[in-house]
Structure 1
Amino acid sequence: MEQLLVLMMENPNLNSLGQNLQTLRLAQGLSLSQLASNAGIAKSNLCRIEQGEGNPTIETIWRLAVQLKVPFGDLIAGSHEFLGEDGIQVKLVDQGADDPRVDVYWMSCASNTTKDSEAHTHGTTERLTLISGELWVGPTNAMTRLTAGDTFTLHGDQPHCYQTKDQGATLMLVITYPKQQDAP
């Protein structure tokens, strides 16, 4: 079972991501070139992602979500795979349908891992509860140490960092997106 889990994390099926990405891009009337440029990635890479190929990083998927003004979960919805890179694995557990939008993720950080995260959509918050291990989290200049059972909320719309030392960490991450403005 452990070997299967490792295989799933190394070779995720990206078809759902590609289909979701293309649907959202087209619904907003954006060309591949426009979205690629806005997200700071090569058009050829975006094309491969939409085709269910390539190997996008979690940060690349976040950039695309921010540019499309949609929650991260909208891009990976339908994927029952773990997405991972450099010692970090995430999996969408549940998506909310209310306003504000709330998504829940399972996240694992290997020991001696640092994950710098760019700012997400304005008004986004991240609330995490550490299930096991030890984790430092927050803005890089003000990290907070968490141990199993601790809960911490941070402003996801500011650059932040997740870091482990000798011990890995498992956590539940709840991302709350800002309430949508009512249309005039």
Structure 2
Amino acid sequence: MKNIAVFVSGSGTNLEEILNRIEANELKVNCKAVICDKENAYARDRARNHGVDEFYFNPKAYPSKKEYEEAILEVLKEKEVDFLVLSGYMRFIGKTLLDAYPSKIINIHPALLPSFPGAHAIQDAYEAQVPFTGVTVHYVDEGVDTGPVIRQEKVELDPSWSLEQTEQAVHAKEYDLFYRVIQEVADLLEKSDRDCA
């Protein structure tokens, strides 16, 4: 089974879903670490509640992004992490991690990219009054939500919905899609390992 590390910045609802799916044997990966850049993020509690090692790295404690990511990389190597899962991680991934995990970093984004990139995708879609939005899981590159798309699913929007209802619908789609794509990526890496053996 492949080993993952989940990167988080906030409350960790997607993390919770991932860990529940692993425990239910619906997602066949090992979560070896949760990496967080916010000291008081509730995601850290969620990790501990599931018995997963969590690590807080304060970006301000390092002279540069390179040194910040090198410190994270030490943990990832120690934990023998195969690929990285960004789950509400609100920080750009730099060259250090991109080079260490080429095409092995995935992110979930609450919109149908390339529409509504950035940090406020659900609100942006809601305010644009579009008939539908969705969820994208993509590989991470050096751009903002620009990496190759792995899978997208649409969420039809009811014009009578509030922003909160729109958020609920998009999050429900995230919970359903993300773990399936994580499994898909893990299976691809397993196959690649077998082909190279």
Instruction: Flag the structure with higher strand content.
Output: 1
TM-score, structure 1 as length reference: 0.31
TM-score, structure 2 as length reference: 0.30
Instruction: Flag the structure with higher helix content.
Output: 2
